[in-house]
Amino acid sequence: MKYLCLVYANENELHSLPDSPQDSECMAYATALHESGVLVAGEALEPVRTATTVRVRNNELLITDGPFAETKEQLAGFYLIEAKDLNHAIRKAAGIPPARVGSIEIRPVRELQTD
């Protein structure tokens, strides 16, 4: 089944801590996940200050500057993976390099009923 691994970290520290991963290391991990058939999709995100939030209320479009939630840690990227079960997903998430400086939230993907 599919799991979304959300990478959260404090943006200001993400690249400046002694344990911070370099882009090349993140690329290498994503490539390895892809080659082993685990990675469905994954991207790093531009910083939160580039975010725009959209809501529709009473048919009216509301647009606000910034992320959905102001938090100490920000969504920095995501991996959509195909894993056997939660243990498998945890193992793969633990290998995501920013896990050392931030947190990885693992969310099972809900399969929508189509019929």
Partner 1 sequence: MPDRFDQQSLNAFYQQESRRVLATLIRLLGDFDLAEDAMQEAFTAAWHQWPQAGIPANPYSWLVSTGRFKAIDLLRKRSRLQARETAWLEQQELLSDAENFAEPTGFIEDDRLRLIFTCCHPALSKEARVALTLREVCGLTTEAIARTFLVTPSTLAQRIVRARQKIRTANIPYEIPDQTIFAERLQSVLQVIYLVFNEGYSSLLPAAAGTPDLASEAIRLTRLLHELHTDDEINGLLALMLLQESRRATRVTENGDLILLEDQDRSLWNAELIGEGVSRVQEAWAAGNPGFYSLQAAIAALHAEAASAQDTDWHEISGIYTLLLNRYPSPVIALNRAIAVAMHEGAQAGIDLITPLIERELANYHYAYAARAKLYRQCGNTDAAKADYGKALNLSDREAEKAFLQAQLRAL
Residues contributing to the site for partner 1 (CB under 8 A): 1, 84-87, 90-91, 106, 108
Residue 99 Cβ, how far from partner 1 at the closest point, in Å? 15
Q: Nearer to partner 1 by C-beta: 73 or 105?
A: 105
**Phi/psi class of residue 86: alpha, beta or left (left: φ > 0; alpha: ψ in -120 to 50)?**
alpha
The residues that bridge with 53 in the sheet, in sequence order, are: 64
Which residues neighbour 25 within 8 Å (Cβ) at sequence distance 6 or greater? 97
Q: Nearer to partner 1 by C-beta: 49 or 91?
A: 91
Q: Are 98 and 42 in contact (CB under 8 A)?
A: no
Which residues neighbour 110 within 8 Å (Cβ) at sequence distance 6 or greater? none
Q: Nearer to partner 1 by C-beta: 55 or 91?
A: 91
Residue 11 Cβ, how far from partner 1 at the closest point, in Å? 27
Q: Nearer to partner 1 by C-beta: 91 or 100?
A: 91
The residue assigned the tokens 């693992």 is: 106
Residue 113 Cβ, how far from partner 1 at the closest point, in Å? 9
